[in-house]
Amino acid sequence: MSVATDNAHTETDSLDLFWMQRALELADHAASLGEVPIGALLVKDDQILGEGWNCPISSHDPSAHAEINALRAAARQLGNYRLLATTLYVTVEPCLMCIGALIHARVNDIVYAAREPKSGAVCSAFQILDLPQHNHRITARGGVMAEPAVARLQAFFRSRR
């Protein structure tokens, strides 16, 4: 597993920025519903397979994270729970639950915007992708459009106080 530093960028910068912009729009949608502003989408061959936003409050479902919703939509679209050769774009570093689902779905890459110091499972609170026990490896890149993602989160929580 390879986690790029938050300021490191690769040749895929323009694609990462393009797809992360869509994830930020999905985060805005979550915020408009009173949910924590996190958005995610799953891409394969430059096509969106599934999109999701946080909705555990409105759906009364603790597993309704943006990543899980994007995975569910993509699996329905493909008719398969294996989501091979895909990239997940998400506005916040995934948690333990979401990382587990991404591993089981066989997602190839994760690109996230903001770190999640309390529950992030890529590089912040946990480094789940580094564990040798997994039979599937995911590559992760962080820090893509982190500032606008953090600004959305801060504005959301500031409005709740």
The residues annotated with a catalytic role in the active site are 67
Element (H, E) at 154: helix 146-160
CA dihedral 157→97→62→115, nearest 10 degrees, is: 10
**93 burial level (CB within 10 Å; 0-12, 13-18, 19+):** buried
Q: Which residue has the tokens 């066989």?
A: 106
Those residues whose C-beta lies under 8 Å from the C-beta of residue 61, and which sit 6 or more positions away, are: 55
